[in-house]
Structure 1
Amino acid sequence: MNALNWLTGRPTQLSGEQQHRLEQLAAPAALDTAILDQQRMVVVDVETSGLNVKRDQLLAIGAVVIENGAVDLAQHFECTLSCENHKVSASVLIHGLAPSMIAAGTEPAEALLDFMTFVGSSPLLAFHAAFDQRMLSRALKQSLGYRLQHDFFDVAQLAPMLCPDAALEHAGLDSWTQHFGLQVQQRHNASADALATAELSLILLCKARQQKLDSLLALQQRLNLWLRRPGRHSL
């Protein structure tokens, strides 16, 4: 993306083929009462140049699919985005994204079109989803002029809601995976974190079914009530 476009928020000029792909993107599906085991959900994690959602840049996207009650490893997405005038930061070093990888990455508009094609109409899940949602929304608007309207579920909220006895309401992903004894081979890159979040999500969806929350709509309605409970502190 042109640096001026990134700063001003103006969309990059798309090619005719990219504009056609943009117009063909699926509209987000409305949450309904379809049972959880029949849902396709995309679990996403992003890597960025920092934690400022207004200034920092999206550098990588990793995603896996939960479908038919399991993680479908045949459906996965991984992409590093090219970034002009990129400066190495502590955040980037943690993610292991070398400057050469970023320089050789996919042009942002193309990468984001690929990602949204992969997502289709499916709802999205992420750990601390507000950050991923805002970074993706800003990148999509700036690169494609596209408004992200897909439903997002925050696994960091679902976990303490569904597992109150764990006493981990403000815990991170590592604490939750350790709580359930999940063997996480790698962390701190988008694809690995998306897979770890997906494995945790499968456990939580099982907990939801045990609590008679059999659909994403029912899960969202319960979550809305839980977030409004008296005395709740923000995650």
Structure 2
Amino acid sequence: MKWLFKNKDKSYPEYWTTYESLFTTQNQDDIHTSTYVVLDTETTGFNYDKDRMLCIGAVKIIDGYIDVSTAFEIYLKQDYFDKNTVKIHGILKNDKFETVSEEEAIILLLDYIKDSILVAHHAFFDINMINVALSRLELPKLKNEVLDTMLIFRATRIKSNLIDPNKKYSLDELAEFYDIDLSDRHTASGDALITAIAFLRSIHFLVKTKAFTLKDLLKL
């Protein structure tokens, strides 16, 4: 008789059900007034099965302005560590940061992002790292809409035989193009802020010159 229980809903923790309940109504669809959360993760590497997040940084964009007063940055306990990646993120195994468990980090992150539109550079990696962490907690994937600043910036480029239409632009290239300070590059909070500035400048161009809407951005 086990088949009788196959469709029984899985019981999720309150923090997940609270987050999930925010998506029962349709999000705002205005490119200017929607709330965005621009995020970045620093990790021990690029292997979704083996590697772990070391730090998550994020900043909100509300009504077209970056709200640095509510910036988000948390460091995770380092149960797994790869010393070879320290030269990239600069986070040492026993650095004197206040750290939280992976589940605590997820709880704090879900409460911060709510139903905002998420923005990241090469977003596939960051969102997947978070989703893999959710899977380890036996939770579903993030429900937020996601925008990738690499794809958005690429949409601003002129069409020319001299420019590869499929070129993958790095965050450094965006920062150089927009003359954004790189002092905090390769920190989660620093990269989130750089990405937020590049995002705003890119969509300003797309709205002004190509009349882009939020729906257009989400189709990139």
Q: Distance in 2 between matches of 1:199 and 1:155?
A: 10
Of 152, 156, 159, the match for 1:158: 152
Determine what percentage of the aligned residue pairs are the same residue: 26
Q: Does 1:212 align with 2:206?
A: no
What is the match of residue 185 of structure 1?
Answer: 183
What is the match of residue 227 of structure 1?
Answer: none
What is the match of residue 100 of structure 2?
Answer: 106
Q: Distance in 2 between matches of 1:35 and 1:106?
A: 35
Structure 2: tracts of 5 or more residues without a match: 1-11
What is the match of residue 116 of structure 2?
Answer: 122
Q: SS at 1:37's partner residue?
A: coil
Q: SS at 1:99's partner residue?
A: coil
Does the aligned pair in 1 maintain the 2:152–2:203 contact within 8 Å? no
Q: Note the C-alpha offset of 1:103.
A: 8.2
Structure-to-structure mapping, 1:39-58, within 5 angstroms: 39-58=34-53
Aligned residues: 202
Does the aligned pair in 2 maintain the 1:50–1:89 contact within 8 Å? no
**Once structures 1 and 2 are overlaid, which stretch shifts more, 67-76 or 111-120?**
67-76
Q: Distance in 1 between matches of 2:50 and 2:107?
A: 22
1:151-209 C-alpha deviation (Å, 9 max, x unpaired): 11111111011233694832211111111212232111100000000010010110121
- Structure 1 or 2: larger helix share? 1
Name the CA shift for 1:21/1:37 in 2 (closer, same or farther; >3 Å): same
1:56-76 C-alpha deviation (Å, 9 max, x unpaired): 111110000111111111221
Name the CA shift for 1:35/1:22 in 2 (closer, same or farther; >3 Å): closer
RMSD, aligned CA: 2.3
What is the match of residue 57 of structure 2?
Answer: 62
Q: Distance in 1 between matches of 2:16 and 2:169?
A: 38
Does the aligned pair in 1 maintain the 2:135–2:141 contact within 8 Å? yes
Name the CA shift for 1:199/1:165 in 2 (closer, same or farther; >3 Å): farther
Q: Does 1:79 align with 2:77?
A: no
Q: Distance in 2 between matches of 1:88 and 1:196?
A: 26
Does the aligned pair in 2 maintain the 1:208–1:219 contact within 8 Å? no
